[in-house]
Structure 1
Amino acid sequence: MHLFDKVFSIFDDMKVRYKLLGIYIIVTLVPILLVGIYLNYGMREVVLNNTLSETNANIDKLELQLNNIIDRATNISDLIYINKDLESLLLEEYENNLEIYNAYNRYPIFDEYLKYYNEIENIQFFMTKKMITNSYFVHADQEIRKEDWYQQALSKKGYVTWLYKEDIWTKKEYMTLTRAVYASDNSLLGILCIYISPDSLRELSSNEVYDAYISLNNETIVHNKNRDLIGTKPSFLAHLSNEINSESFVLDTSYLNEQVKINVRSFQPQKALDTSVQISTIIPVEDVMREPNIVIIKGFIVIIGSILISIILIILFIRSFDRRLHELKHAMNKVSKGNFNIRKQIAGKDEIGEVYRELYITAESIKKLINEVYVHKIKEERWKRKQKESEFKMLASQINPHFLYNTLEMIRMKAFINKDVEVANSVKLLSKIMRSSLERTDKPIPLEKEIDLVSTYLKIQKLRFGDKIDYDIETNCNIENYMVFPLLLQPIVENSVIHGIENKEGEGQIKIDIFEDNTSLVIQVKDNGVGITEPKLDKLKFRLSESEEQQSTSNRIGVFNVHQRIRLHYGDSYGLRIKSEVNKGTSVTLHLPLWKGQDSDA
């Protein structure tokens, strides 16, 4: 491991041009020379193995298709075997031939199988009962019962046997399934024969490149393109009686005075005890190697030419690569030192050119980021904050405080001299609320002070409206040390009075609840006023969801200003929530942080 580490360390320290040249020599020149030497010895096996792989794939396909045909015939034999109608047909007693013909007509299953399954050439049932014979039902007389295929089917006791058999009527031989069929009492009904269509077997190998044989039990060829060989013994497998049970093997032998490879696949059909099927593909070795030998000769010529051309190209490539790599390195060095003024591009559109263009885009993005984010954005945020502070200060300083205080005090004293206590108290409350409002800044104030302001405002409204308005302020948590921004609550209460209670017939109620939930301090202002229609409420909620820039274009600074101030300083998870129903009232809920005194240093 240490040796490899040392080699890799030396390789890492080398210049890229030397790495490329070394890799070219090791990976290209040396392997090409070795391959050229190896071609004479290895190409033969490579081509033959590829051919065998191809024939294996073809045999897999042939086996699958042949199995489908065999399974189709086997399944049909199963259906006939378990069909009670056949048993009834053969066990019933008939008085005349007409009744037998009618019984045959009531059993059309053989016709249906032949109609729907092209793989089946014919179906015959050799019955033990002596009845008249038609194309499907044949009486098994003594001569038929003595035949080998009949005795073999009987010996299998209902299992499937495959053999090459002659049709009793056409005298043509077919690959045939035979099976003994028994009644419910285990008495023999007869022997079923299902003949496979030769056309379906021909379709299996119609596209095969090499000659394919299908044989049964290594004894009889049941299919080949040469029809003269069908029914004969496969001589090329004659000496393999001990190996024939192997699933797949390859033979190196001679056939018809030619050196060949024979790829043999053997399998046992389902429900067949002593039957095996062989699929053999004969590959002529000289035919397979004829074109590869020509390719090998041409390959040597191409290899020599390629080596000469590649040497020239690798030298040109290394020079170009090394030059542009140095340009990229120089540009990256400038960017790393904070100098983002580099060339827009270098020669070439390959990966090095793409990397350089990405580096240029990155440098331009950083310059733009510095100009826009760290300069322009900061100035913009400061301007917005100053604008908000100016709006708030303008709201709180629209009236000269000294003039207003002196005027209100003069009115209060005159009312007191005239013994008009109610007017004097009203002026006192108004003076208190105006002093509190005009003295405000944008700094947080105690929550108790904000509630006191709202209470004073409601007392003035109570004096104004009398019994038409009533209010209740309920604190369900400890509000000491809570700091809030000024004029957060008073605009909400003012809206409840002006828009909810003034236009209501009958007594108006305003209730203020202050409590804590799991995540926030909640201040809820409810009234039983006229409410807000659904379209207006939707519009109001949409206005609340607008951005700060959009809100700044509005002249209305009530609930919108409150909502934006809360979100600006506390985050988007805080703010106002409004619910309302016409003629039932409106509920405005303020969500503020739970942390007490968090704004004391704001």
Structure 2
Amino acid sequence: MYFLNNIRLRNKMFLVYFLGVIAPIILTNAIFYNIITENVKEQRINDIDRAVEQIKNEFQLMVDQGVGLSSFFYADYKTNEVLNMNFTHTEDYVEAYDLYLRSILNNYSPFSSSLQNKTIYVDNPTLLNSGNIGILSDEVREEAWYKLWLKDASSQPVFVRIEDPEGQFQSFSLLRRMDYFADRMAKEKLIKIDFKTIDIMEIFSNLNVKGDMYLLGPGDRIEYTTNRAINWQDNAEHLYSSLKSDNLIQFEKGYGSISYLRGWKVVGTINEHEIIKEELKSRYFIVWSGCVMMIVPTVIILIITRSINVRIIEILKHMKKVKTQNFQMINYGEARDEIGQLTLEFNNMIMQIKTLINDVYITAIQKKSLELERRKAQLNALQSQINPHFLFNALETIRMRSLLKHEKETAKMIQSMAMILRSSLTWNKEWVTVEEELGFIMCFLDIQKYRFEDKLKYHVEVEPEARACVIPKMVFLPFVENASIHGIEPLKKGGGIDIRIGMEEDFVVFSVKDNGIGMNEEQVSKLYDYLKGEELIGDRIGIQNVIYRGKMLYGDRIVFEVHSRPGEGTRIVLKIPSNP
């Protein structure tokens, strides 16, 4: 076990936690999950199988009602006797119908809850074709259901699906030859009992899962289904074999030796995914319970290990600081365990070392450092006072000499330059009014006018309500400078600058337009890229830095527009909020 000595304490705790908690929980949950999911799947399949069996039985019970009714008429002597008579007069038949057949055909109800209609067809033209009695005429014999019955014509009832001449579904019916008294009664008789389709649909809709039910006739033809994708009412040959799939679980129930349902089947299908859903429920339960069983011990172990690991790491950090002569004490409350005692002893050792070093070295070093810093501060203060004052005094001396020599225009230019220079070097005042900013602009234009004379013309228009608005210092001047130097100066014949400052709602709108050389699309795109860039502001005050300052102060509220084409001049619009 010597290798354990080379493993960090924190990793040892996690190793114990994994082997003692995580691994047993995972193993237990895996076994539990396999057992539960198999039981859930088996139980679900059994439930569906019982549901399909119940649907099969209910459907058979409904057909049995028709069979029972057909058996009554099949064996009732009086009914067969009346139907076998040859009536000379219609009144005689009506009298016989009213005396016996009416009550039997219309009021006999023990088997009629799911029956829609019953008709007895007789090869006796002396009867009337009404009141559940039909004449077995040549037209009837040509109908599809009669020909279907002839294929298996017998005394046993036959359950069939009947279609109209166009091949569309008409009804599910039970057909039976009434020949019980054939040796004494020569008339051919046939009973046709129609079932209520709505009752069949209700029976087959009782599968309480997301599956499909099929009623299959002989040859596995789909006679009825709850599958909405199949139009079972049309005359198409829908075969169940074409729907079989590996993803479907099938529950098939046949009717065995029942003669009138021979070849008929009830089939239920359900997608395997529906069974898996039930398994997923148990999986989620196991996963959540496993998470709870892991999270609770994990929190407890983390709290305990943190009490040990964090304090030991802190002691190691402070010991490493001692190597660099950083004698910092550990700020922990008093603890009574072994780590707390170790921390206390470490702090006592640090106090003794600091006391010894302070007595011998620190005092002398601090005195020399303070003296050096004091002299450096004096030198910086002196230099900061000399440089600007020397420059301003020199400019003022030159301006005064120009006045003495009556060079008023030169003196005015020097004064304008001094004002701009003083403003650019005095950054303790970051915000100015539009009026003050306009003063800087006019100073610059005066200098440029002095430089270019008639080559430069400018026009300045300021709305009165905009003059008192507060803006960042020198936020407009760089655009005027850019228009003069980069727009007008390259022109041989000179040009003009149009400056407008106004208000739009809560925004100060600055517009500068020149008729200079203009810019191409690449240069315009570069200016727009300044709005997207995040570089730090440099030492110069240019368009780039103006935009960066605007973004820092106003965020997305600043609006910057550039309109320029080569040879057509440039127009720049800057909108900033009137309230900082």
Q: State the TM-score, normalized to the length of structure 2.
A: 0.42
Structure number with higher relative contact order (C-alpha < 8 Å, ≥ 6 residues apart)? 2
